[in-house]
């Protein structure tokens, strides 16, 4: 064995495929089908590349300031990272150190257990109820912290602010992280609770609703104290996490609220229309408040459907995991993309025996 005995061994998170084939319909990683705000493209086109000679601002001040203005909080209440994955990983490391298990739902974002493992944090999963809802009473047991997405992934179900607050209220001696990667598609943010709870961290991302997954921009909002602790850990790892283009283009994206409202509104409208069409085809799904639909068909195996869709150049996500192996997570794309998906499914469903 030798040196291998002392390796930090982990089973890594499996990200969705990023096929680069032309002409495919990519509905597998919850990206936005529309381009970023027009101002972002304009700024990128005239970016001064000589500035890349220098290290970027370690505090990402331009972006933090723009976020503080957009979300009406103090700059000291904002922490930014390389995607919300980076923010979440830092938060796990910073706040979940009690030795007691961190609680999160099952089914949920499959990165939480990976971060818990890599950071050596004990954890306990709390199964969702039979309708895929979080059971707030599960979060009344002794724990070392709480994390959950709202809306949840991959179910898409949003919990009410009352449920979210009930969980926070019961856990004021630990840090509670609400992962709001999908909140802009109709969920209610826990941001409004920040004044009341200094142990609450609300995490969001530019990857979905701001159409900038390729820039890797995530952020969180919390009490000044929480943010100070996060920064201390971040600056103990790497001062320059966020590159200059991400800082500048991220800040620019926040200037165009009308565009943001327009594209999120469009995705919501498409989602609602697709829900109706899927229902007609016999699909069942929790009522998504996100930019994806988590659907099952009572008489067609999901894996078989996943493969057939892939064969046809339509990429969705499937997990061979307990409880969810009969579901497909379908990102909401443009109306045209969804029409192609639906016409494929119409034919496919009609061809099934029985
Ligand atoms: N949280 C949830 C629930 C997600 O589904 C994702 C996307 N995979 C993320 C966080 C991370 O997104 P990003 O790092 O692109 O901000």
Residue 232 CA, chain-centre distance (Å), reads 24
Residues 250-270, mean pLDDT to the nearest whole number: 98
What's the average model confidence in pLDDT over 20-33? Answer: 95
pLDDT attached to residue 41: 97
Average pLDDT, the chain: 97
The residue contributing the CA closest to ligand 1 atom 4 is: 181
Taking residues 253-274, what's their average pLDDT? Answer: 98
* Residue 252 burial by Cβ neighbours in a 10 Å radius (0-12, 13-18, 19+): buried
The vertex-338 CA angle with 325 and 154, nearest 5°, equals 30
Distance 84 CA to ligand 1 centre (A): 6
In this predicted structure, the answer to whether residue 64 has a pLDDT above a threshold of 70 is yes
Confidence of residue 166 (pLDDT cuts 50, 70, 90): very high
| 298-312 pLDDT per residue, tens | 999 999 999 999 999
Tokens of 188: 């209610």
71 CB burial (10 A radius; 0-12, 13-18, 19+): middle
Does 354 score more than 90 pLDDT?
Answer: no
Residues 6 or more apart whose CB falls under 8 angstroms from that of 118 comprise 8, 10, 89
In the prediction, which pLDDT does 332 show? Answer: 98
Predicted pLDDT of residue 65: 98
Q: What percent of the chain has pLDDT over 70?
A: 100
pLDDT value at 77 more than 80 = yes
pLDDT per position as a tens digit, 308-334: 999 999 999 999 999 999 999 999 999
Per-residue pLDDT, averaged over 230-258, amounts to 97
Model pTM?
Answer: 0.98
Strands 218-221 and 200-205 come out as antiparallel
Q: What pLDDT, in 10s, does the model give residues 133-161?
A: 999 999 999 999 999 999 999 999 999 99
User: What is the whole-number distance in angstroms between the Cα of residue 15 and the centre of ligand 1?
Assistant: 10
CA atoms within 13 A on the CB side of 102: 26
From ligand 1's centre to the CA of 64, what distance in Å?
Answer: 19
Q: For residue 353, name the pLDDT band (cuts at 50, 70, 90).
A: confident
Centre of ligand 1 from the C-alpha of residue 110, in Å: 10
User: For residue 209, what pLDDT is reported?
Assistant: 98
Beta strands 292-295 and 328-331, pairing class: antiparallel
From first CA to last CA, the distance across the chain in angstroms is 56
Burial of 177 (0-12, 13-18, 19+ CB in 10 A): buried
**pLDDT of 1 above 90:** no
Does the pLDDT of residue 246 top 90, yes or no? yes
Ligand 1: residues whose CB is within 6 Å?
Answer: 83-85, 109, 149, 153, 179, 181, 205, 207, 213, 218
Total number of residues shown for the chain: 354
Which of 67, 111, 212 for mutating ligand 1's site (highest number of atoms within 8 Å of CB)? 111
């Amino acid at each position: 064995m030798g040196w291998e005995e002392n390796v930090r061994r982990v089973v890594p998170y499996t990200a969705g495929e990023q096929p680069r084939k032309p002409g495919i319909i990519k509905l597998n990683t919850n990206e936005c089908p529309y381009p970023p705000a027009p101002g972002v493209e304009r700024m990128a086109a005239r970016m001064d590349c000589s500035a890349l000679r220098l290290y970027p601002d370690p505090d990402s001040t331009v972006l933090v300031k723009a976020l503080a203005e957009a979300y009406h909080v103090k700059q000291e209440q904002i922490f930014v990272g390389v995607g919300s994955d980076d923010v979440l990983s830092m938060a796990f490391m910073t706040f979940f150190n009690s030795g007691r298990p961190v609680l999160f739902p099952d089914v949920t974002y499959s990165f939480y257990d990976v971060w818990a493992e890599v950071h050596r944090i004990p954890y306990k999963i709390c199964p969702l109820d039979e309708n895929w809802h979080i059971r707030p009473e599960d979060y009344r047991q002794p724990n070392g912290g709480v994390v959950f997405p709202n809306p949840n992934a991959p179910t898409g179900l949003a919990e009410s602010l009352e449920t979210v607050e009930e969980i926070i209220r019961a856990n004021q001696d630990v840090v509670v992280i609400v992962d709001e990667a999908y909140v802009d598609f109709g969920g209610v943010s826990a941001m409004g609770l920040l004044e009341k709870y200094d142990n609450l961290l609300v995490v969001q991302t530019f990857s979905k609703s701001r159409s900038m997954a390729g820039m890797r921009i995530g952020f969180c909002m919390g009490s000044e104290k929480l943010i100070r602790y996060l920064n201390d850990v971040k600056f103990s790892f790497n001062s320059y996490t966020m590159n200059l283009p991400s800082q500048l283009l991220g800040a620019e994206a926040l200037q165009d609220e009308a565009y943001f409202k327009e594209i999120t509104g469009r995705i919501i409208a498409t989602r609602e229309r697709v829900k109706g069409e899927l229902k007609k085809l016999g699909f069942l799904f929790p009522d998504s408040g996100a930019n994806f639909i988590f659907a099952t068909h009572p008489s067609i195996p999901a894996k078989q459907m996943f493969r057939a869709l892939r064969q046809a150049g339509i990429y969705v996500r499937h997990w061979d995991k307990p409880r969810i192996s009969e579901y497909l997570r379908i990102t909401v794309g443009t109306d045209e993309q969804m029409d192609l998906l639906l016409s494929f499914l119409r034919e496919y469903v009609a061809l099934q025996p029985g």
